[in-house]
Amino acid sequence: MGAMPSLEASNQAQIEDLVQRNRTLEHTNKKLDEQLAQERERSKQAVLTTQAQWEKNQQEWKEGCEDILASYRIVQKKVVIELEKERSAVIKEMGVTRVEKLQRLQRDFKIKLFQIQEEELDRKIEDLERENTMMAEEAERNLSKERERCTEYASRWKETRESLERALKEKKEIEASPTFRFQNIF
């Protein structure tokens, strides 16, 4: 039996060694499980932290993009305002130009109308001067005719007067003559 005990002792030693190893392995396994659980927890926390950081970064990016977009919109609105100011200035300038052009056209029209009236008046003056010349010539002809008639009448009147004076003289001579007195008695 002596051999047995040594086999048994050897087996017992092996069993104890195996139990010890098993305990060590269980302890190691437990530690590894704890480490694994810790690592999982740390990993989970790291994922949560990373996700939180990612969400924070996303939010910051979103806010940054919104800020950039808002800035862009402000710049765009400023550009639109400047464009509208320029359009307004152009429209005002066009209005001023249109008014100036209208005034120029009205002035040109008045000048042209004045020139037409002036030409018309010049024609009328020429017509009146021609008519005046013709009337003066006609008046001169009529005056000349009237002078001729007056001269003729004056000549006739003179002849008639002379004839009357002769006749009166003859009558007086006849009346003064003795034969006339004698004839009147009978």
Place of tokens 């003056």: 125
Mean pLDDT of 87-94: 94
Contact 180, 174 (CB under 8 A): yes
pLDDT at 3: 56
Tell me the pLDDT band of 129, cut-offs 50, 70 and 90: very high
Phi-psi region of 177 (alpha: psi -120 to 50; beta: other; left: phi over 0): beta
Residue 112: closest CA among 100, 97, 101, 120: 120
Residue at 185 is within a domain: no
User: pLDDT: is 11 or 114 the higher one?
Assistant: 114
Is residue 126 situated within a structural domain?
Answer: yes
Predicted confidence (pLDDT) at residue 92 exceeds the cutoff of 90:
yes
Q: Which domain holds residue 118?
A: 17-130
Is residue 7 in some structural domain? no
Domain count, the chain: 1
